[in-house]
Amino acid sequence: MSDIIESVKCMIIGSGPAGYTAAIYAARANMFPVLYQGTQPGGQLTTTNDVENFPGYPDGITGPAMMMELQAQAKRFGTDVRDGWVTKVDFSGPVHKVWINDTKEIHCETVIISTGASAKYLGLQSEQKYLKLGGGVSACAVCDGFFYRNQEVVIVGAGDSACEEAHYLSKLCTKVTMLVRRDEFRASKIMANRVKNTANITILFNTETEEVLGDGQVVTGVRAKNKLSNEIIDISATGFFVAIGHKPNTDIFNAFLKLDETGYIINKPGTSKTNVNGIFVSGDAADHVYRQAITAAGTGCMAALDAERYLASREG
- Does residue 140 carry a catalytic annotation? yes
Question: Judged by CB, which is closer to ligand NDP: 21, or 292?
Answer: 292
Collapse the DSSP code of 236 into the 3-class scheme (helix H, G, I; strand E, B; otherwise coil) and give the result: strand
Smallest gap from residue 208 Cβ to ligand NDP (A) = 6
Interaction pattern, residues 213-252, with ligand NDP; x per rule: CB under 6 A? -------------------------------xxx------
**Nearest-5° angle of CA 282, CA 271, CA 46?**
15
287 binds ligand NDP per the rule CB under 6 A:
no
Q: Does 64 bind ligand NDP (CB under 6 A)?
A: no
CA dihedral of residues 166, 172, 173, 175 (deg, nearest 10): 50
Question: Using CB under 6 A, which of the segments 134-142, 158-166, 247-255, 267-275 binds ligand NDP?
Answer: 158-166
CA distance 135 to 45: 16
Catalytic residue among 10, 50, 108, 140: 140
Task: Write the binding mask 166 to 185 for ligand NDP: x where contact by CB under 6 A, - elsewhere.
Answer: ---------------xx---
Catalytic residue selected from 50, 144, 284, 306? 144
Least Å from the CB of residue 107 to ligand NDP: 35
Q: Does 124 bind ligand NDP (CB under 6 A)?
A: no
Q: Which of 68, 122, 142, 276 binds ligand NDP (CB under 6 A)?
A: 122
Residue nearer to ligand NDP on the CB measure, 109 or 164: 164
Beta strands 279-281 and 6-13 are unpaired
**Nearest Cα to Cα of residue 285 among 262, 307, 306:** 262
Q: Give the angle 239-241-244 at the CA atoms, nearest 5°.
A: 165
Give me the residue whose beta carbon is nearest to ligand NDP.
159
29 binding ligand NDP? (CB under 6 A): no
| DSSP E strand stretches across the chain | 6-13, 34-36, 50-51, 61-62, 80-82, 86-90, 96-100, 104-113, 117-119, 137-138, 152-156, 175-179, 201-204, 207-214, 219-226, 232-236, 239-242, 246-248, 279-281
Q: 143, 163, 173, 287: which one is catalytic?
A: 143
Residues 6+ apart with CB under 8 A from 38: 13, 14, 15, 84, 85, 86, 115
Q: Please give the residue ranges that form the binding site for ligand NDP (CB under 6 A).
A: 122, 156-162, 164, 181-182, 186, 244-246, 288
Catalytic residue annotation: 140, 143-144
